[in-house]
Amino acid sequence: MNLLAKYIMNPKIVPLIAAVCSCFAITYSARAQGSLTPPGAPAPTMKTLAQIEPRTPISSLPYVITNSGSYYVTTNLTATNINTGITIIANQVTIDLGGFTLQGPAVSGVGIYVGGSLTNVVLRNGSVTGWGSHGVDAYNGGYPRNMLFEHLTISGNGGHGLYTEAGSIVRDCLFINNINDGLNSVGGEISGCIARKNGGYGFETSYATLHHCLAEYNGGGGGFSLYSSRALDCNSQFNSGTGFDCFGIGDAIRKCRIASNNGNAIHINSDNGANVIEDCEIENNSLYGIYGPGTGGSFIARNNFSLNVAGGIVISDSNNYIEGNHVVTSVGVHGISITSSGYTNNVVAKNVVVGGGSASNNYSNIGGANDFGPIGSAASATSPWANISH
């Protein structure tokens, strides 16, 4: 018998082994069991996409939306010989183009038409191109309100790219190569948009606010047309016409860059006045930096003018306030000018004009009933209202 066997069979060890085993003994008790038969056939427990986000597909043109709801385009859609691609005649409609394109027949038609004085219309995420008339017409059908247009590319259409009524929000859109204006909006807020190579203005607005928008290489109209509108931190460059055309009363142009346009940088038209033009960079335009045959009453301050071909600030009206501008001009070209002594009560103070060749070129036609701060050099000026000339 080996040593292990002797150890286990030891009469002193056997009771100890039995006690240890009893400590680890497991008692099983029988428990009642339920039925193992399933209650019915297996069924899905997850919701479908239609239940989570109920939407109606648009898979062909023309398409007319008569009920409120959410709609989505399923693929690129091309129209042939129809007047309108998608017509909306219901309130509270959202259309998601899903990154697809509505391609027009070129000879006629509107890509998307809002057909009535509707509210709460949303259009987003895709392209509308090649229609014979407007790309998107949310104006002519009535007085629609509360509309949102975002993440759209609207190009190559025979009218305006986007034509929209008041109360619209337009953001992050591109308007390219449309025959008329890129965007024509009668009110609303426009932000983060680009208008390029359109035949009219890049942006034509009434009673609207624009910010962070770019207009470039647009045709005969120019970059921006403002009618009682505001532009903040916008860029107008290389347009065939004016950088900013001002109409109506009370336009505001702030912190904008207006460069290399084939016309005036800012044109204050005959029906326009009471503007605010401040903190802008205005340079290398083929005519004037600011030309103003308007109704007067404008505030022009803290702008930087550089080498605008015909002159810096040339005013042909009364009651304007011109302060703190810096004008670099060329020999024989006016820096700041009131074109006639018949215009009165213009206040010109604290400006700096450089490069005209003489004080009379730097500050032209300062007589009459206008109020110019004394003209001299910074070293000799004693008046806090002095205009500096070099």
Per-position pLDDT tens, the chain of length 390: 554 455 445 555 555 555 544 544 444 444 555 666 667 666 666 665 555 668 999 999 999 999 999 999 999 999 988 889 999 999 999 999 999 999 999 888 999 999 999 999 999 999 999 999 999 999 999 999 999 999 999 999 999 999 999 999 999 999 999 999 999 999 999 999 999 999 999 999 999 999 999 999 999 899 999 999 999 999 999 999 999 999 999 999 999 999 999 999 999 999 999 999 999 999 999 999 999 999 999 999 999 999 999 999 999 999 999 999 999 999 999 999 999 888 999 999 999 999 998 998 899 877 678 999 999 999 998 999 999 999
Q: Which pLDDT belongs to residue 340?
A: 86
Confirm whether pTM is higher than 0.75: yes
Query: Domain spans of the chain?
Result: 241-390
Distances (CA, A) of 379 to 201, 303, 361, 387, 388: 45, 23, 20, 12, 9
Q: What are phi and psi of 167, to 5 degrees?
A: 75, 25
What are the structure tokens assigned to 29, written together? 């008790």
Compute the distance between CA of residue 307 and CA of residue 285 in angstroms, rounded to an integer: 8
Q: Which pLDDT belongs to residue 12?
A: 57
Q: Which pLDDT belongs to residue 44?
A: 65
Q: Which pLDDT belongs to residue 159?
A: 97
Under DSSP, is residue 215 helix (H, G, I), strand (E, B) or coil?
strand
Distances (CA, A) of 321 to 11, 149, 348, 349: 120, 38, 6, 8
Q: Which pLDDT belongs to residue 194?
A: 98
- Listed residue (222, 224, 266, 271) closest to 250, CA to CA: 271
Q: Which pLDDT belongs to residue 6?
A: 53
Distances (CA, A) of 320 to 111, 216, 272: 45, 30, 12
- CA torsion, ordered 233, 238, 244, 245, to nearest 10 deg: -160
